[in-house]
Amino acid sequence: MTNPILSHWDTPFEIAPFDAISDDDFAPALEEALAAHDAEIAAIAGDERPADFSNTVEALEAAGAALDKVLSVFFTVAGADSNPARQELQRAFSPKLAAHFSAISSNKALFGRVAEVWEKRDTLNLTEEQQRVLMLSHRGFVRAGAALTGDSDQRMQAIMGRLAELGTAFTQNLLADERDWFMPLAEDDLEGLPGFVVDAARAAGAEKGQEGPVVTLSRSIITPFLQSSPRRDLRERAFKAWRARGENGGETDNRAIAAEILALREERAKLLGYESFAAYKLETQMAGTPEKVRDLLMAVWEPAKAQAEADAAVLTEMMHQDGINGYLAPWDWHYYAQKRRKAEHDLDEAEVKPYLQLDRMIEAAFACANRLFGLEFKPLDVPLYHPDCRAWEVTRDGKHIAVFIGDYFARGSKRSGAWCSAMRSQAKFPKEQGPVVINVCNFAKGDPALLSYDDARTLFHEFGHALHQMLSDVTYESISGTSVARDFVELPSQLYEHWLEVPEVLAEFATHAETGEAMPKAMLDKVLGAANFDMGFQTVEYVASALVDLAFHEGAAPGDVMEKQAEVLAELGMPAAITMRHATPHFAHVFSGDGYSSGYYSYMWSEVMDADAFEAFEEAGDAFDAATAKALETHILSTGGSVEAADLYKRFRGRLPGVEALLKGRGLAA
């Protein structure tokens, strides 16, 4: 009987048949797909014909289709709907996959053929896109260690296998800590909490099998709880649990794992001849060097810290007026900042939330994509991996463009945060294929589901990534969609957030859940006026995390990661009432895989561009200016990684931006 994962998917748009796939199918499907890929690689490496672009580079592009199917389905459910069986499979798959890909990247015959094509590239009459794919393929082999021999080669393969195991363990430990902790609330403890927080806490209690409401470590519950609970003792308990994820001792403690990951990364970089892992990692990014990253972060750190310290003085005075003496603590900041926002902007989250219905914000994201790029979204009735998920067919001028899947609600089986991934990326080789793109978020459930303004921004952010995938128009999958430099990948997502702040968008889609009335103009003005509220705090907690990440990878790996973290923060003069956005033991961006290692700065690098890019629309006098939207699609959203990121940006804007637009956008300009 054919494994449903590997069979032909006779479904609308060949979406994975989730209703036919069981956890028992994954292991045999993986074994079969790995064997098929091994055979394809052996055939390419053993080809006796002279190596050329078609029989080597394109052949590599076409290889592994079965493996892509297995991994796209498995990693989708492992991240968004985990269970013990899937966690066990993930632990088993990680070293297997690392060994498999390591064997490919260290295959001397295969690398020899790629190198042969690279050497004669100027005689092959390749298109610009083909030249780019060849360069990336050759560079990828070299950076993976294909030129290493003997003991160095063996050691590199062992390092990559161990890093895969450690990244999986880090992720699963964090998920366990987030899933298992909750704080029951008595009825008296609900005093002062807005209705939406109480509703979310009751729903969380039901999910945890409790009689009453609970606070969990889901950001969509803990943040509004910290903002609204007058009970300082409960805020302290909740904040400390949030802060302690990954460092509670016992089996789920991530501190030793993080230290081992850093040591292995340093060894990997040295084997490849680099001074540090940061130097290795940043070589292929827009930033290029650790020094340029540090320059950007420090240019923002000083004004942000000054603003945060001024804000801390105001919040401390408010706390003293409440009869609480002493210093402002991290579990006090959200509460007093929220009170201050209410006082200064007359803006109360509980009053704003009914106007930010999840369904209406999805409509808003779709409507902006329609006005900018002509995309239309039609609901699809197809089986998906969880009842919370929904799907849409995306078309333009009647032509199929993509399938978009939204998975919006927090649950115990889903890792925290928000992300976008492609179950299938756009490509034209070896055959035409439209993308299947997923946005995964962690919003609180409700009837109807209501978002905070930050939640709404997250929704627009992830949809910006989705647009980058859906509007991709390249030949080869390896450079499709978001396959770009890490410090460029956040440009489309952060840029799309700007359309949430366009007054006419909120005026149309921010409608009250009960009355259906549009958000009053006075409230709309307050929401937009408060967009930069508490920006000193937000910038400090982010930049501190980025600088710790850089310090971890810039020099010798620290034996004690917490000691190194404390040392970096002390050197920066980190304000006492603010903590890193992601402390090391739960810094999944950096330790669950290689993606953002030495690269957490990339959100800010991209923000320099997104602030400048939106100014292009402002200069045109219309947030939906057709010519500017066309240029954005042509030069950035459709091109994937087919051209160097800096060149793409210059084609769109005519130049690279400076940090001034970012400081102005964050309200931190002098």
* Rg from Cα positions in the chain: 25
Q: What are the backbone dihedrals phi and psi of residue 64, each rounded to the nearest 5 degrees, phi first?
A: 85, 15
| pLDDT for residue 306 | 97
Q: Give strand pairing partners of 394.
A: 377, 402
Sign of CA dihedral 618, 622, 624, 630: negative
The boundaries of every CATH 1.20.1050.40 domain in the chain are 12-105+107-147
- Which letter, b or e, does each residue of 23-39 get, where b requires 16 or more Cβ atoms within 10 Å of its Cβ? eebbbebbebbbebbbe
Mean pLDDT on 91-110? 96
The answer on pLDDT for 1 being more than 80 is: no
The answer on pLDDT for 419 being more than 80 is: yes
Tell me which residue of 15, 115, 125 sits closest to 56, measured CA to CA. 115
3-state secondary structure of 178: helix
The answer on pLDDT for 278 being more than 80 is: yes
| pLDDT for residue 606 | 96
State how far the Cα of 409 lies from the Cα of 45, in Å rounded to an integer. Answer: 46
* Summary mean pLDDT of the chain: 96
CA 303 to chain centre: 26
Report the range of poorest mean pLDDT among 245-254, 442-451, 643-652: 442-451
State how far the Cα of 597 lies from the Cα of 321, in Å rounded to an integer. Answer: 43
State how far the Cα of 533 lies from the Cα of 518, in Å rounded to an integer. Answer: 23
Tell me which residue of 158, 334, 137, 305 sits closest to 232, measured CA to CA. 334
For residue 19, the tally of other CB atoms under 10 A from its CB is 12
Percentage of the chain lying above the pLDDT 70 cut: 100
| pLDDT for residue 518 | 96
Give yes or no for a cis peptide into 430 (omega within 30° of 0). yes
The boundaries of every CATH 1.10.1370.10 domain in the chain are 251-347+535-600
Tell me which residue of 411, 386, 334, 396 sits closest to 366, measured CA to CA. 396
State how far the Cα of 426 lies from the Cα of 471, in Å rounded to an integer. Answer: 8
The answer on pLDDT for 661 being more than 90 is: no
| pLDDT for residue 670 | 63
Tell me which residue of 545, 645, 650 sits closest to 285, measured CA to CA. 645
Fold type of domain 12-105+107-147: Glutathione S-transferase Yfyf (Class Pi); Chain A, domain 2 (1.20.1050)
State how far the Cα of 502 lies from the Cα of 518, in Å rounded to an integer. Answer: 15
Q: What are the backbone dihedrals phi and psi of residue 215, each rounded to the nearest 5 degrees, phi first?
A: -95, 130
Kindly report, residue by residue over 348-400, the tens digit of the pLDDT: 888 999 999 999 999 999 999 999 999 999 999 999 999 999 999 999 999 99
| pLDDT for residue 669 | 82
Question: What letter would DSSP give residue 379?
Answer: E
- Tally of helices (H runs) and strands (E runs) in the chain: 27, 7
Kindly report, residue by residue over 124-158, the tens digit of the pLDDT: 999 999 999 999 999 999 999 999 999 999 999 99
Kindly report, residue by residue over 16-25, the tens digit of the pLDDT: 999 999 999 9
Q: Select the CATH number that applies to the domain covering 354-529+603-665 from these four: 3.40.50.10090, 1.10.1370.40, 3.40.1190.20, 3.40.50.410.
A: 1.10.1370.40
| pLDDT for residue 164 | 96
| pLDDT for residue 32 | 97
Q: Is 414 exposed, middle or buried (0-12, 13-18, 19+ CB in 10 A)?
A: buried
Kindly report, residue by residue over 28-79, the tens digit of the pLDDT: 999 999 999 999 999 999 999 999 999 999 999 999 999 999 999 999 999 9
Q: Which residues contact 486 (CB under 8 A, 6 or more apart)?
A: 285, 595, 596, 599, 602
State how far the Cα of 170 lies from the Cα of 615, in Å rounded to an integer. Answer: 40
Q: Which residues contact 533 (CB under 8 A, 6 or more apart)?
A: 337, 341, 344, 345
For the chain, give the longest Cα–Cα distance.
Answer: 83
CA dihedral 182, 186, 190, 191 (to 10 degrees): -140
Q: Which residues contact 392 (CB under 8 A, 6 or more apart)?
A: 366, 377, 378, 379, 380, 403, 404, 405, 406
Mean pLDDT on 257-277? 98
Q: Which two tokens stand for residue 539?
A: 């910038």
| pLDDT for residue 26 | 98
Catalytic residues: 462
Q: Which residues contact 435 (CB under 8 A, 6 or more apart)?
A: 402, 403, 422, 424, 425, 426, 469, 470, 472, 480, 481
| pLDDT for residue 665 | 87
Q: Residue 423, CB half-sphere, CA atoms under 13 Å: how many?
A: 29
The boundaries of every CATH 1.10.1370.40 domain in the chain are 354-529+603-665
| pLDDT for residue 349 | 86
> What's the pLDDT band for 193 if we cut at 50, 70, 90?
very high
Mean pLDDT on 231-245? 98
Q: Select the CATH number that applies to the domain covering 251-347+535-600 from these four: 2.60.40.420, 1.10.1370.10, 1.10.8.60, 3.30.379.10.
A: 1.10.1370.10
The answer on pLDDT for 91 being more than 70 is: yes
Q: What are the backbone dihedrals phi and psi of residue 379, each rounded to the nearest 5 degrees, phi first?
A: -55, 140
Tell me which residue of 468, 412, 469 sits closest to 445, measured CA to CA. 412
State how far the Cα of 16 lies from the Cα of 10, in Å rounded to an integer. Answer: 9
State how far the Cα of 153 lies from the Cα of 147, in Å rounded to an integer. Answer: 8
Does an H or E element contain 182, and which?
strand 182-184
Kindly report, residue by residue over 515-552, the tens digit of the pLDDT: 999 999 999 999 999 989 999 999 999 999 999 999 99
For residue 8, the tally of other CB atoms under 10 A from its CB is 7
